[in-house]
Amino acid sequence: MERDKAYRYWLHSLPGVGDRTIEKLLKKFGSAEQVYRAMDHLPPEMFKKNGTEEIRAFSKTWEVERKYEALLQRGIWLCTLEEEGYPARLRKLIHPPYALYCMGHMPEEECPAIAIIGARECSEYGRYMAQAFAGKMAEAGVSVVSGMARGIDGISQRAAVEKKGRTYAVLGSGVDVCYPASNKRLYQDIQDTGGGILSPFPPGTLPNKIQFPERNRIVAGLSDLVLVVEARAKSGTWITVDMALEQGKNIYAVPGRLTDRLSDGCNLLIRQGAGIALAPEDVLAELTVLTNRKGIKARKESKTSAGAAGFLDFYPKSAERLLKEMNSAGITMELPDLLAELIELCVEGAAKQVAGSHFVKVHE
């Protein structure tokens, strides 16, 4: 098996050779090793001009077994379509990626999974909602899948990590290239908490805009449902949504104010038939139906929420002030958790957010 995988790593690393060409080569020669043995007899019509010469030149400097051993020593493992461990969700795609590289762990098949995506330049509202929804998903045992981008993606995955849940980041670069660099700590924390960094591109591949649609396709493919937290009317988020719809996935969107341009995309999705995500429980209920799994935990009654409500008043209080008052009363909590609870109170109609991170009690 390891010998076979060493040749598969070589095959997937060949310059100018994509998944469709790999599929044709394997069909003609039977295995990656047989392709390697037939290197001097490769059909030129399968490749671009001078492609076979490029492959031979590349392979002269590629020591198959040593290269694969070096890959393993770096903590990177390869999973290809020939293996039983290849994600079942991805096998359902019309053209599943031939290979996935992983640092950490691959997604668990029996665990429900949700893709949470949205704007890179998100608002405070988007930040709060991403934390609230991702945190509840993690607490319920749902895996959070995203692209580890700035904004909603990274915020959602950070919330999942902080709630000790599993989250998986699919990169538009090699798994050994942390992008964006500002998420370096999250990149490591995902691996340290039982999640994984995944990529369909060989290690060392630098991020490139032409690679992100494939990244987005895999994010959608690994999920049972896609949740859009915040997005403009025209944004990269729509690429993932379109791909998810092509895959037959259900889309949910968090509604926003009509005057907020960052909510235009979500409001438009809802108008076009996407599910309305008014609370995490809406999404959890849908996941239970879609996956027919019992891995989703029932929601726990939150004493914290009731405690936070008790400190609200009919005049605005900042989240920082509420936290200070609660700590003085002996209620210990971190600010991100308080913000998530406050947003939940807003969703339930018990509170209202005004002027940034200020909140007021709603008249009963």
Residues 182 and 239 in one domain: yes
Residues 280 and 319 in one domain: no
Of residues 15 and 304, which shows the higher confidence score? 15
Residues 285 and 313 in one domain: no
Please indicate, yes or no, if residue 78 is contained in any of the structural domains: no
Which one of 45, 72, 99 terminates a domain? 72
Residues 9 and 141 in one domain: no
Q: What is the mean pLDDT of residues 161-174?
A: 97
pLDDT exceeds cutoff 50 at 13:
yes
Instruction: Give this prediction's pTM.
Output: 0.81
Residues 124 and 252 in one domain: yes
pLDDT exceeds cutoff 50 at 195:
yes
- pLDDT (0 to 100) of residue 148: 97
Residues 188 and 311 in one domain: no
Half-sphere exposure of 297 (CA within 13 A, CB side): 13
Assign residue 320 the CATH number of its domain. 1.10.10.10
- The answer, yes or no, to whether the previous bond of 180 is cis (omega within 30 of 0) is yes
Please indicate, yes or no, if residue 259 is contained in any of the structural domains: yes
Residues 37 and 123 in one domain: no
- pLDDT (0 to 100) of residue 304: 41
Please indicate, yes or no, if residue 83 is contained in any of the structural domains: no
Q: What is the mean pLDDT of residues 51-73?
A: 93
pLDDT exceeds cutoff 90 at 234:
no
Residues 266 and 207 in one domain: yes
Candidates 259, 253, 258; CA nearest to 238 is 253
Written as six digits, the tokens of 315 are: 């005049």
Please indicate, yes or no, if residue 100 is contained in any of the structural domains: no
Structural domain total, the chain = 3
Average pLDDT, the chain: 89
Please indicate, yes or no, if residue 89 is contained in any of the structural domains: no
Residues 192 and 318 in one domain: no
Assign residue 120 the CATH number of its domain. 3.40.50.450
Q: What is the mean pLDDT of residues 275-304?
A: 70
Residue with tokens 């995955």: 157
Residues 177 and 273 in one domain: yes
Laid out side by side, the sheet with 143-146 consists of 77-80, 99-104, 196-199, 167-170, 143-146, 113-118, 225-230, 250-253, 275-276
Please indicate, yes or no, if residue 81 is contained in any of the structural domains: no
Between CA 31 and CA 25 the distance in angstroms is 8
Give the range of the structural domain holding residue 189, as residue numbers without chain letter. Answer: 113-291
- pLDDT (0 to 100) of residue 105: 95
Long-range contacts of 19-25 (CB under 8 A, 24+ apart): 19/95, 19/97, 19/98, 20/95, 21/46, 21/47, 22/98, 23/98
Q: What is the mean pLDDT of residues 101-127?
A: 94
Give 82-112 pLDDT, tens digit per residue. Answer: 998 899 999 999 999 999 999 999 999 989 9
Between CA 266 and CA 77 the distance in angstroms is 37
Q: 307: pLDDT confidence band, cut at 50, 70 and 90?
A: low
Q: What is the mean pLDDT of residues 120-146?
A: 94
Residues 38 and 133 in one domain: no
Residue with tokens 């994010």: 219
Which one of 12, 41, 72 terminates a domain? 72
Residues 260 and 139 in one domain: yes
Which one of 23, 51, 72 terminates a domain? 72
Cβ-contact 310, 325 below 8 angstroms? no
Estimate the crossing angle of helix 237-246 against helix 212-221, to 10 degrees. 50
Please indicate, yes or no, if residue 322 is contained in any of the structural domains: yes
Give 261-282 pLDDT, tens digit per residue. Answer: 999 999 999 999 999 998 898 8
